[in-house]
Chain A
Amino acid sequence: MTLFDYSSLAPGAKRVIVVGCGGLGSVLAGELAEAGHRVRVIDQNRAALDTLPPGPVSDGVITPVLGDGTSEADLLRASIRDVDLFIAATGSDSTNALAAQMAQYLFDVQTAVCRIDQPSSKSLYEGLGLVAISATGLASEAIMTATKGE
């Protein structure tokens, strides 16, 4: 069974899974939806899923999935077999690395992105073919850029 009907998907639109509906995950889901993509957001916490923007959720552009993003069964429930992009954006580096590698190795997802803040792990996972993004790194880069612009 699949939760999603992609027949109406516009050309160029991507099917995206976001794991983790914290600050990063929910903002990301909203922006991806705004850019025309279909997003399924997995989180174990009902209250976190409730922070998703209500408009796109009621339109079916964003679909909240209550579950564990490191469980094969829950990933299947979120139709991981047909996603174009997988983003692991929980607050835990290890959880993100686990979820993203499940997507990559168990489900052959083309592009798996994970938030990894720990520098040693970030270089490890970049070397292993994941797109690893450090939230703290990005923030400090942005601040440095802004400082230089002054």
Chain B
Amino acid sequence: MHVVIIGAGLVGSSVAGWLIAAGHEIAVIDRDADRCAAMENELGSVTVTGDGTEGEVLARAGAARAEAVIATTGSDADNMVACQLARHQFNVALTAGLVKSDDHARLFNLLGIDSPINMVELIARRIQEALPIEGVVRLMDIPGSNSSVMVTVRVLPGSSAVGRRVRDLSLPVGTLIPLVIGRDGTAATPNENTALSPEDQVVAVTNIDDLDRLRDMLS
């Protein structure tokens, strides 16, 4: 498919590289001619020098036949305008834009931008995941749900959950445990008899409001 990317910075370049590797056709818009030239050295003639918040520039990048437009500039405002132009003026099916704050992410949702990507939150989450901390690590939000999340919880040696069977835990209503990962890294779907051991990683799908209860129960 044809994808228009706005912004030839770190994010834009990475996304461009992946899409080309996956066999898609892309056009990358950036105001900075040097950045466009640097990208063309890597990826070939894929850039349009100009302002991605202008309809005429989006048109030159082939927005009218694009199936997706991805706005990756450092400005929430510019990303919003580019996505709105793509959606309303070029009828692009899928729009995604980077945002730096929660309030802007909420606005992007209200505006019908399909995927607001909150960079700060993503980075914070990756850092959280990289640190060997106790408690709950959020893996992903369940698409299409406002309140369901997938998390992992590490079972601590002193936890009351050690030695208990998964089926005997009084989990918060609606909580599923699709996977338990042992300390040696083996992953298994818990069955009738699966009991928890210290250092198990319990993967759970639960309501966001029940995260504290789940952590208290397992770690």
Contacts and interface: CB of A to CB of B under 8 A. Distances in A.
A49 to B, nearest CB: 21
Interface in A64-112: 70-73, 92-95, 97-98, 101-102, 105-106
A96 to B, nearest CB: 8
A72 B103 contact: yes
A98 B77 CA distance: 5
B144 to A, nearest CB: 22
Interface in A107-138: 118-121, 124, 127-128
Contacts of A73: 103
Contact of B76 (A98, A106, A118, A121): A98
Nearest to B53: A94
Contacts of B53: 93-94, 118, 121
Contacts of A102: 103, 107
B103 A97 contact: no
Interface string B100-112: 0101101100110
Contacts, number: 62
Interface of B: 53-56, 75-78, 80-81, 84-85, 88-89, 101, 103-104, 106-107, 110-111
B101 to A, nearest CB: 7
Contacts of A124: 55, 84-85, 88-89
Interface residues of A, number: 21
Contacts of B104: 70, 98
Given A97-B84, A121-B55, 13 more contacts: A70-B104, A93-B53, A94-B53, A94-B77, A97-B81, A98-B80, A101-B80, A101-B111, A102-B103, A119-B55, A120-B54, A120-B85, A127-B88
B89 to A, nearest CB: 6
16 contacts: A71-B101, A71-B103, A72-B103, A73-B103, A93-B81, A94-B78, A98-B77, A98-B81, A101-B111, A102-B103, A105-B107, A118-B54, A121-B53, A121-B55, A127-B88, A128-B84
Contacts of A101: 80, 107, 111
A70 B88 CA distance: 22
